[in-house]
Structure 1
Amino acid sequence: MKAYIYGANGAEIADVAKPTPKGTQVLVRVRACGLNRADLGMTKGHAHGSAGGVGTVLGMEWAGEIAELGPDVKGVKVGDKVMGSGAGAFAEYTLADHGRLFHAPSNMNFDEACTLPIAITTMHNAVVTVGGLQAGQSVMIQGASSGVGLMAMQIAKFKGAKLVVGSSTDATRRARLKEFGADLAVDSSDAGWVDQVLQATSGEGVDLIVDQVSGKVASQNLKATRIKGRIVNVGRLGGTHADFNFDLHAARRIHYIGVTFRTRTIEEIRDIFDAVRKDIWPAVESRKLQLPIDKVFAFDDIGKAFEHMEANKHLGKIVVTL
């Protein structure tokens, strides 16, 4: 089958063996894939958890049809239209655990469906399950113009947040954040953003920050979070190491929690998918929670899709179709 791999000469399209499902795995005929920031690093040879390196089939997010079932699969059948996440998505066929996929709504095409699995699972977990957002509370999303960031703001609004703050360092994208639920949009590269957040919260700070940036905003986040508030660290696009004000962290008694799919067991991941189905799936089906598609590329042009991502001028998801 045709696949986009990291080979000896870098990322390239190659012919590889079609995988065979085992146990609780299904084989999916992939029709569309969503690009994510972690994919960009892996095209350059970087590891993402245990994945990466020469011979790796790249990609983490897809939509398609079930082509074959492993012997222990439950809840789906051959021919079902599904969407999900997992390794090896940029290929004609991929494997997925039966608990790590959703039935794609009938009112969505494959391009639309492939934009959602990572965003809705990552941010429902960060905002609701781990972040504990309650109706009437305030939340800030650092890195709000990414696909997962746009979804985080929508989920926060859907769950009844009274104030949603989104950050973006790009003026054009920052101006559009209100379309996706932001009541206040700030530039996190400008140190004045903390004062803006404090002013919007009567000097107290927000109840919850979901941080995809980290790096230099880590200590600024502490100043912008209320006493006994929460910070959920989801991403580190601004750097994995930086100054951290431990005294401020202690004084404000902030719960600082790190999350990632990379070290979760399949049982934990299944629980996250189940939580989405039970809590917000009707809003996905009704298109209340959705992401814009920035641009669609044919699979043969996947290299151009990554060039588009690296230019960092897009808003919404970049999709590749097979």
Structure 2
Amino acid sequence: MKAIVVGPEGPSLVEIDMPRPKPAEVLVRVRAAALNRADLAVASGQPHGPTGGPDAIPGLEWAGEVVAVGAAVNDFYPGDRVMCSGAGGYAEYAVADHGRTLPLPADLSFEVAATLPVALQTMHDALITQAHLQPGETVLIQGASSGVGLMGLQIARWRRASLVIGTSRSPEHRARLAESGATVAIDTKDPTWPEQVRAATGGRGVDVIIDQVSAPVANGNLQAAAVLGRIVNVGRLGGSRGEFDFDLHATKRISYIGVTNRTRSIEEQRAITARVRADLWPAIAAGGFHLPIDGRYALAEAPAALTRMRKNEHFGKIVLTV
């Protein structure tokens, strides 16, 4: 089969053996795969949790048709249309754990489906499981113009948050955040942005902050949060080291929660997928969650697609068609 493999000169299209599913896995003929920031690390030869390194195949999410299943799998069958999360999606065939696999609604295209698994799993876990977002509470999504950020806006609205604030440093991107449910869009380059958040909440501050930026906005998050607010550290796009006002953190009695998939067991990852299916499936099947596709590239063009992601100019998701 053809796959994008990381070699000494970077990622390139090569011919390799087709993977075989382990007992709890499904083998999928990939029709579309979506890019994620972690793919940049894998494509540069760096490890990302248990994946990555030399000869790795990037790709955390994809959609296609099941062609074979492992001996322990009894919930998917050859011919099923599915979307998956895992590793190795930049290829004509990929394997996924059956517990990280979801069936495709009849009207959902492979391209659209490929954009959904990571965003749904990440933001449902962050907003619902970790932050315990309740109807009527207020939410701030840092880095809202990414695919995961846009999904966070949508899940917050699905949860009936009373106010959903999204941030982006791009004026063009801020202008589009309302399409995914943002009621307020804020530029964190403006040093007064924490005051703007407090003003939008009547001086109280936001109940929940989902932070994909970290270092440069860490203290601003503490200023923008309400007393007893919850901050979930999902990503570190702005850096993994920075100042932190411990006194303000304690004064407001803020819960600061860190999450990553890199240290989660397969059982934990299955549980996240199961919660997504239990809570969000009717809305997914009805087309209630969607992400804009910024660009489409053929599998052989994956290096160019990764370059576009590295420039950080895209809005939504970048997709490979296989």
TM-score range, shorter chain: over 0.9
Contact 2:145 2:177 (C-alpha < 8 Å) held by counterparts: yes
Name 2:225's counterpart in structure 1: 225
What is the TM-score when the length of structure 1 is the normalising length? 0.98
Contact 1:157 1:164 (C-alpha < 8 Å) held by counterparts: yes
Secondary structure at the aligned position of 2:179 is classed as helix
> How many Å apart are 1:177 and its aligned residue?
0.6
Higher relative contact order (CA 8 A, sep 6+): 2
Instruction: Count how many residue pairs are aligned between Structure 1 and Structure 2.
Output: 322
Name 1:177's counterpart in structure 2: 177
In the alignment, the residues of structure 1 paired with residue 263 and residue 142 of structure 2 have an alpha-carbon distance, to the nearest angstrom, of 23
> How many Å apart are 1:38 and its aligned residue?
0.9
In the alignment, the residues of structure 2 paired with residue 288 and residue 22 of structure 1 have an alpha-carbon distance, to the nearest angstrom, of 34
Contact 1:24 1:74 (C-alpha < 8 Å) held by counterparts: no
In the alignment, the residues of structure 1 paired with residue 298 and residue 91 of structure 2 have an alpha-carbon distance, to the nearest angstrom, of 12
Name 1:216's counterpart in structure 2: 216
In the alignment, the residues of structure 2 paired with residue 84 and residue 192 of structure 1 have an alpha-carbon distance, to the nearest angstrom, of 41
Secondary structure at the aligned position of 2:52 is classed as coil
Secondary structure at the aligned position of 1:102 is classed as strand
> How many Å apart are 1:216 and its aligned residue?
1.3
Q: CA RMSD in A?
A: 0.9
* Runs of 4+ in structure 1 over 3 Å off: none
Name 1:105's counterpart in structure 2: 105
Name 1:10's counterpart in structure 2: 10
Secondary structure at the aligned position of 1:99 is classed as helix
Name 1:163's counterpart in structure 2: 163
1:63-102 equivalence runs, <5 A: 63-102=63-102
What is the TM-score when the length of structure 2 is the normalising length? 0.98
Contact 1:166 1:184 (C-alpha < 8 Å) held by counterparts: yes
In the alignment, the residues of structure 1 paired with residue 72 and residue 23 of structure 2 have an alpha-carbon distance, to the nearest angstrom, of 5
1:50-69 equivalence runs, <5 A: 50-69=50-69
1:226-265 equivalence runs, <5 A: 226-265=226-265
> How many Å apart are 1:9 and its aligned residue?
1.8
> How many Å apart are 1:189 and its aligned residue?
2.0
> How many Å apart are 1:257 and its aligned residue?
0.3
Per-residue CA deviations over 1:138-192 (Å, capped at 9, x if unaligned) read: 0000000000000000000011000000000111001111111111100112211
Structure 1: segments with no counterpart, 5+ residues: none
> How many Å apart are 1:42 and its aligned residue?
1.8
Contact 2:131 2:231 (C-alpha < 8 Å) held by counterparts: yes
